[in-house]
Structure 1
Amino acid sequence: MPRFLVFLVLTLVLLSTSCISTKKLSYLQEDKASIDSIVEVHRLNKPYRIQIGDLLSIRVKALDQDIVGMFNPIDEGNANATGEERMYYDGFSVDEHGNIRVPTLGEVNVMGYTVEEIREQIEERLLSEYFKQEANIFVTVKLAGIRYTTIGEIGAGSNVLYKERVTIMEAIANAGGISDVGNREDVKILRQYPHGEEVHHIDLTNLDAVKSEYYYIQPNDLIIVDPLPQKSLGSGTTGLESFRTIATVVSLLSTSILLFTRL
Structure 2
Amino acid sequence: MQQQFSFKKILPFLVVFTLMSCVSRREMVYLYNTNQATKKEEGKEAAKIEYESVLQRDDVLSIIISAENPEVAAPYNLKAVSISNTTGTTATHAGNLENYIIDKNGEIEFPQIGKIKLEGLTRNEAVEKLKEILSEYITNPTVHMRIVNFKISVIGEVSNPGMHTISSERITLLEALSLSGDLTIFGKRQNVMVIREQEGAKTVAKVDITNADFLNSEYYYLKQNDVVYVEPNGARRNASIIGPNITVGLSVLSFAIGIILLINK
Interval containing the TM-score (normalised by the shorter chain)? 0.7 to 0.9
**Structure with larger RCO (C-alpha < 8 A, sep 6+):** 1
Report the alpha carbon displacement of residue 32 of structure 1 after superposing the two structures with TM: 6.3
Aligned 8 A contact 1:41 1:210 in 2:
no
Deviations 1:166-225 (A, max 9, x none): 111111112222112111111000010115101001111122221111111111101000
Q: 1:198 to 1:37 in 2, by over 3 A?
A: closer
Structure 2 residues not aligned, in runs of 5+ = 86-93, 241-246, 257-265
Which residue matches 2:89? Answer: none
- Find the partner of 1:93 among 73, 83, 101: 101
Distance of 2:31 and 2:132 partners within structure 1 = 45
State the secondary structure of the residue aligned to 2:187: coil
Q: Which has the higher helix share?
A: 1
1:216 and 2:218 correspond: no
1:89-238 to structure 2, matched below 5 A, reads 90-128=98-136, 130-131=137-138, 133=139, 136-144=140-148, 146-154=150-158, 155-234=160-239
Q: 1:30 to 1:244 in 2, by over 3 A?
A: farther
The number of residues matched between the two structures is: 235
Which residue matches 1:28? Answer: 31
State the secondary structure of the residue aligned to 2:171: coil
Distance of 2:8 and 2:147 partners within structure 1 = 64
Look up the equivalent residue of 2:8 and give its one-letter code. Answer: L
**Percent identity between the two aligned chains:** 25
Distance of 2:154 and 2:206 partners within structure 1 = 14
Deviations 1:48-76 (A, max 9, x none): 43221222222211112232233333543
State the secondary structure of the residue aligned to 1:77: strand
- Tell me how large the CA RMSD over aligned residues is: 3.3
Which residue matches 2:259? Answer: none
Distance of 2:248 and 2:25 partners within structure 1 = 17
Q: Which has the higher strand share?
A: 2
Structure 1 residues not aligned, in runs of 5+ = 81-85, 236-241, 252-263
Distance of 2:10 and 2:239 partners within structure 1 = 20
Distance of 2:29 and 2:114 partners within structure 1 = 51
